[in-house]
Chains A and B, each alone.
Chain A
Amino acid sequence: MSTPAASAGPAVRAVQPAPAPAAQPPAAMPATAAMPARDRDLAAAAPYLADWEAFRRELPPDEPAALVALRRAAIERFAVLGFPTTRQEEWRFTSLAPLAREVFQRAPSPAPSPRPGPAYLAPWIFEAAARLVFVDGRFAPELSTGDGTVLAPDAPASPGAPGILVASLADALAREPRRLESHLGRHTPFQDRPFVALNTAFLRDGAVVLAPRGAVVERPIHLLYLSTAGAAPMVSYPRNLIVAGEGSQLTVVETYVGEGVYFSCGVTELIAGAGAVVDHYKVQRESREAYHLATLQVHGERDSAISSHSVSLGGSLVRNDVNALLDGEGISCILNGLYLAEDRQVVDNHMRVEHAKPHCASHELYKGILDGKARSVFNGLIHVHPGAQKTDAKQSNRNLLLSADAIANSNPRLEIFADDVKCTHGSTVGQLDDDAVFYLRSRGIGEAAARSLLTYAFASDVLARIKVEPVRRDLEEFLFARLPQGDVVRQAV
C-alpha cells in the first residue's frame, strides 16, 4: 500500500522515568525556570485570564472548596504556561498563531437562544441508550434524552444489577458534588499542558457517565457537542467524566460538530475500574474553520479492557492528545485513529501510553489520509516504567499522501525501563501503489475510481474496528462523499 519511509523496530532512549500522574499539584506553582519566555506566548493567554475573572463571578457561591481551588490552580498554571510556541518540542510542527489571533467569547449563561432545533441534530444522531446534547458547551436538556436518569442495565442482567448514571456535569456538580470529587480532575494533570489547564480553569459543563460496579449497558451513550455560528466566535470547554466501576461495561461516543469559526477546548477523563470494559469513540467533525484542541485522559485499573477510537475529519487546526496510564496488571488498551485532512487543514495527534504495571497490552493503529496542502503530526510515545515486565506494546502510524503538497510528520517513540517486554513501533508515509491502481484499471475501473477504491482500502482496517455501526456507517458515507467517484466505491465495498 505505502512505502516505508520512517523508522520501524524498537528504538530505546534513556530518559528519566516520568512521575506517575496522581493528585493535582498544589495551588502554589513552582516557577518554570527551565522554560524560556520565548517558548510561551503569554500575550495570547491574556484575554483568557481576563475572561476567567468574569467567569468566576458567574459561578454559584456554594461550590465545594476543592473545585474552587482546582479551577484557581489551573488558571494560575495557565497564566504561567501561556500558549505554547513551536519552540516547544510538543508543539514543534503545530503553530497556534492562527488561534492566538482570534478573539472568542464564552457562550452566554444561561445558554444562548434561539437554539438549534431537533432537525439540525438529525444528521448527527443515532439510536443511543442516552444522548446528551451541548450547545456551545452548555447542556441543552430539551435536545437530550436520558439525562439525569439512571439507565437500566441491558437484559439479561442479574436481578438488582445497577444502572448507569448519565447527567450533565453542571447538574451533577449542583446535586451531588461529593460523588464526583474522587475522580474529577484527579487523573488529568495540567502542569505541562496549557489547554488542559485552560479547560480545568473553565470547568463547568459537560457530561458525567458513572457506571457502578457490575453495571452493563451495551447501547452507546452519545455525547453531542454543537457549536453555533454566533455574532462573535465562541469558545467552549467541554469536560467529560466517564467512570466505569469494577466489572462494568459501557460504550460512549463523543461527537463534535459546528458552524463557522469557534474554539473547542475539551477534556475527557475516562477511568476504567478493575475488569471494566469500556469502548470509547470520538468523532471530530467540527466546521472547517474551527479550532479543536482536546485531551483524552485514560486511567486503567487491573484487568480492564479499554478501547478508544478517534476519528478526525473536520476543523482548521486540530490537536488531539490521548494519554493513557495503565495502572494495574492485565490491562488491554486499544487506541485507534483515522484522520482525513485536505486544503490547509492541520491535524496533530499526540499519544502517550504509560505502562506502569506488568502484563499489560497496548495496541495503537493510527492512519491518516492527506490531500491538498494538509499537514499532519503523529507523535506517539510508549513509556514502560521500571518493573512493567511482560509489557506488549504495539504502535503503528501510516499515512497516505494523495497530493504532492501534503506533509505527514510521524514520530513514534519508545522509552523502556523494563527488560522483559515486547515493544514495536513503526510508521510509514507513502502514496498509492501504482501497481494496485493499474490492477484496478485493467479490470475496467476508471483511474479516479481506482484511486478512491484504494484510498478506501487504506482506511478499511480502522473502519472495520469501529463496532458502533452508525458511527462506522457515518464515517463510510463521509468517505464516499469525499472521494472522487465515491459512488463506485460505495457499490464496490
Chain B
Amino acid sequence: MLQIKNLHAAVEGKEILRGIDLDVKAGEVHAIMGPNGSGKSTLARVLAGQESYEVTAGEVLFQGKDLLDMDPEERAREGVFMAFQYPVEIPGVSNTYFLKAALNALRKHRGLPELDAVDFLKLVRRKMQLVQMDESLLNRPVNEGFSGGEKKRNEIFHMAVLEPRLAVLDETDSGLDIDALRIVAAGVNGLRQDDRAFLLITHYQRLLNYIVPDHVHVLVDGRIVRSGGKELALELEEKGYAWLEDLARQLATTEQPAAAPLATTAATGA
C-alpha cells in the first residue's frame, strides 16, 4: 500500500530525514518510535504533504501512485489521513458541517454521490460511538475550547468518518490520560481492517499495549536504525533509546562520507 524509498526531507535547509525505507502493506499496523527530534513527526507531515517540508531525495508510492506529486487535499481524497499532534481550532466552523464538507470532497473525488444531511447524520452517530464522543462536541466549532483529550478523540472521530486507506497517527497518545488513551486505542482497533493500514508515530511504548502493532521501527537521526516485531517496543521500554542512539552514531561514522556527508557532520556533532 505504502512504499517509502530512500526518503530525504529537510525543513528550512536542515535535513531531518536521511534515507527512510519502509514498506507498509494493507491491513498492517506499523509503529514508528524514536527519541525527540529523531524525525518521526517530520515523516508524518511529509506523508500528509505539509509544504514547509522539502523532499530532497527518494520516492513515496501510495497504492502505486506517486504520493509526493500530490497536494495535501489530493492525498486525503486518495485515502491518506493524518491525525495531528496539535489539532487546529477553527472558530465559527461547526465540527459536523466541516466533516460533511470534507467527506463529500472525498466522495466527489471517488465518483460517489454526496451524502445528504440525513445519511450523513446517521453515519456520524454510528462513528461517534466508536470514540465515545460527546454529542455536544459535534455541534461546537472544530476543536474550539476542546480539552487536549477531546481534540485527540476528535481526530480519531474524523478518521472514523473519513475512512482512510492509510492512517498516520502523529503522537496521538501524547498528553492523554489512561482513560482517554484506552478510548483512542479502542477507536483505532475498531477501524483495523484488511484494506486499511496504520502508521503509529509515538514516543512511548504505552500506546502499543492497547494497539498491538505488526511491526515496530525505531527512528534515530532521520533513519530507521532497527525494525522488528512488537517485542522491539518492549525492549525499548526496558533499555530506553540511548543504546540505539549510540548505534546510530556508529552507523553514521562508518558510512561512506560521500553518501551522507550531512549525516556524518550532524551525528558526530551531536
Which residue numbers of A lie inside 8 Å of B, CB to CB? 433-436, 438-447, 449-450, 453-454, 456-457, 459-461, 463-464, 488, 491-493
Are A491 and B73 interface neighbours, CB within 8 A? no
Looking across the interface, which residue of chain B has its beta carbon closest to that of A446?
B73
Interface residue B30 (Cβ < 8 Å from any Cβ of A): no
A311 to chain B, nearest CB (A): 16
Q: Is there contact, CB below 8 Å, between B76 and A442?
A: yes
Give the residues in chain A near B101, CB-CB below 8 Å. Answer: 445, 449, 488, 491-492
CA of A438 to CA of B93, assembled, Å: 16
Our pick among B48, B51, B73 for the contact of A445 (Cβ within 8 Å) is: B73
The reply to whether A454 and B73 contact each other, CB–CB distance below 8 Å, is: no
CB pairs A–B below 8 angstroms (21 shown): A434-B52, A438-B49, A439-B84, A440-B88, A441-B73, A441-B76, A442-B73, A442-B84, A443-B158, A443-B162, A444-B76, A444-B77, A444-B106, A446-B73, A453-B90, A454-B90, A456-B92, A457-B91, A488-B105, A493-B93, A493-B97
Chain A residues, CB < 8 A from B94: 492-493
Query: Is B88's CB under 8 angstroms from A436's CB?
Result: yes
**8 Å CB contacts to A: which residues of B85-137?**
86-88, 90-94, 97-106, 109
* Pairwise interchain contact B73-A444, C-beta atoms closer than 8 A: yes
Q: Is the CB of B73 within 8 A of A436?
A: no
A439 and B76 form a contact (CB under 8 A): no
Do residues B105 and A444 form an inter-chain contact, with CB atoms below 8 A? yes
Given A488-B101, A491-B100, A491-B101, the answer on whether A441 and B92 have CB atoms closer than 8 Å is no
A243–B43 CA distance with the chains assembled, in angstroms: 64
**Residues on B with beta carbons closer than 8 Å to the beta carbon of A464:** 92
Q: Which residues of A lie under 8 Å from residue B31 when comparing CB positions? A: none
B146 to chain A, nearest CB (A): 14
Residue of A nearest to B161 (CB): A443
Chain A residues within an 8 Å CB radius of B75: 442
- Rounded to whole Å, the gap between the CB of A386 and the closest CB of chain B is 39
In the bound assembly, the distance between CA atoms of A435 and B50 in angstroms comes to 8
Count contacts between A and B, CB distance < 8 Å.
93
CB atoms of B49 and A442 under 8 A apart: yes
A181 to chain B, nearest CB (A): 46
List, in ascending order, chain B residues with CB within 8 A of A453's CB: 90, 93, 98
Please measure, in the bound complex, the distance between the C-alpha atom of A488 and the C-alpha atom of B108, giving whole angstroms.
13
Closest residue on chain A to residue B143 by CB atoms = A439
B72 at interface, CB cutoff 8 A: yes
- The answer to whether B93 touches A492, judged by C-beta atoms less than 8 angstroms apart, is yes
Q: Is B71 an interface residue (CB 8 A)?
A: yes
Measured CA separation A457–B158 after assembly (Å): 19
For residue B17, CB closer than 8 A to chain A, the reply is no
In the bound assembly, the distance between CA atoms of A16 and B94 in angstroms comes to: 49
In the bound assembly, the distance between CA atoms of A159 and B105 in angstroms comes to 58
Chain B residues, CB < 8 A from A493:
92-94, 97
Asked whether A492 lies within 8 Å of B98 as measured between CB atoms, the reply is: yes
Q: How far is the CA of A323 from the CA of B173 in the complex (A)?
A: 52
Q: Out of B82, B109, B141, which one reaches A442, CB within 8 Å?
A: B82
What is the interface of chain B, defined by CB distance below 8 A to chain A? 48-52, 71-73, 75-77, 81-82, 84, 86-88, 90-94, 97-106, 109, 141, 158, 162
Across-interface contacts of A440 in B (CB, < 8 A):
88, 90
Closest B residue to A493 by beta carbon equals B93
Q: How far is the CA of A127 from the CA of B84 in the complex (A)?
A: 45
Which of chain B's residues have a CB closer than 8 A to the CB of A492?
A: 93-94, 97-98, 100-101
Contacts of A444 in B (CB 8 A): 73, 76-77, 102-103, 105-106, 109, 162
- Specify which of B51, B77, B84, B92 is in contact with A457 (CB 8 Å cutoff): B92
Give CA–CA (A453, B162) in the complex, Å: 19
Q: Is the CB of A435 within 8 A of B102?
A: no
Residues in A with CB closer than 8 Å to B141 are 457, 460
| Structural contact, B92 and A442, CB atoms closer than 8 A | no
Contacts of B102 in A (CB 8 A): 443-445
Chain A residues within 8 Å of B109, by CB? 444
Given A441-B49, A445-B102, A492-B98: A457 touches B93 (CB 8 Å cut-off): yes
- Asked if A435 and B93 sit within 8 Å, CB to CB, the answer is no
Contact of A446 among B50, B82, B92, B105 (CB under 8 A): B105
Cβ of A434: which chain B residues have Cβ within 8 Å of it? 51-52
Residues A441 and B71 in contact, CB atoms below 8 Å apart: yes
| Complex: A436 Cα to B141 Cα, angstroms | 14
- B81: A residues at CB distance < 8 A: 442-443
Q: Indicate if the CB atoms of B105 and A445 lie closer than 8 Å.
A: yes
User: In this complex, what residue of B is CB-closest to A464?
Assistant: B92
Q: How far is the CB of B73 from chain A (nearest CB, A)?
A: 5
Which residues does chain A contribute within 8 Å of B93, judged by CB atoms? 453, 456-457, 460, 492-493
**Complex interface: chain A residues within 8 A of B77 (CB):** 444
How far apart sit A484 and B111, CA to CA, in the bound complex (Å)? Answer: 23
- A-B pairs with the 3 shortest C-beta distances? A460-B92, A444-B76, A441-B72
In this complex, what residue of A is CB-closest to B106? A444
Most buried by B among A435, A440, A450: A440
Bound-state Cα–Cα, A223 to B3, Å: 65
Chain B residues whose C-beta falls within 8 Å of the C-beta of A459 in the assembled complex? 92
Q: Are A435 and B92 in contact (CB under 8 A)?
A: no
Whole-angstrom CA separation of A460 from B94 in the bound complex: 11
Chain A residues within an 8 Å CB radius of B72: 438, 441-442
Choose from B52, B71, B106 the contact partner of A447 (Cβ within 8 Å).
B71
- How many Å from the CB of B111 to the closest CB on chain A? 15
Q: Which residue of B lies closest to A454 (CB)?
A: B90
A439 and B73 form a contact (CB under 8 A):
no
Q: Determine the chain A residues whose CB is within 8 A of the CB of B73 once the complex forms.
A: 441-442, 444-447, 450
The answer to whether B87 touches A463, judged by C-beta atoms less than 8 angstroms apart, is no
Assembled-state Cα–Cα distance A456/B84 (Å): 22
Chain A residues, Cβ within 8 Å of B99? 443
Cβ A457 vs Cβ B90 within 8 A:
yes
Which residue on chain A has the smallest CB distance to residue B114?
A491
Complex Cα–Cα for A493 and B140 (A): 10
A435 to B82, CA, bound (A): 13
Q: Which residue of chain B has its CB nearest to the CB of A460? A: B92
Residue of A nearest to B158 (CB): A443
Partner of B48, one of A442, A447, A457: A442
* Bound: A449/B102 CA distance, A: 11
Known A-B contacts: A441-B49, A443-B76, A444-B76. Give 12 more (CB < 8 A).
A436-B90, A441-B76, A442-B75, A443-B158, A444-B77, A445-B105, A450-B73, A457-B90, A457-B91, A491-B100, A491-B101, A493-B94
B44 to chain A, nearest CB (A): 10
B9: min CB distance to chain A, Å: 15
Query: Using Cβ atoms and an 8 Å threshold, which residues of chain A touch B82?
Result: 442
Can you name the residue of chain B whose Cβ is closest to the Cβ of A435? B88
Which residues from chain A contact B48 at a C-beta distance below 8 Å? 438, 442
- Which residues of B have CB within 8 Å of A450? 73
Q: How far is the CB of A306 from chain B (nearest CB, A)?
A: 25
Which of B88, B104, B162: most chain A Cβ within 10 A? B88
| CA distance in complex: A433, B104 (Å) | 24
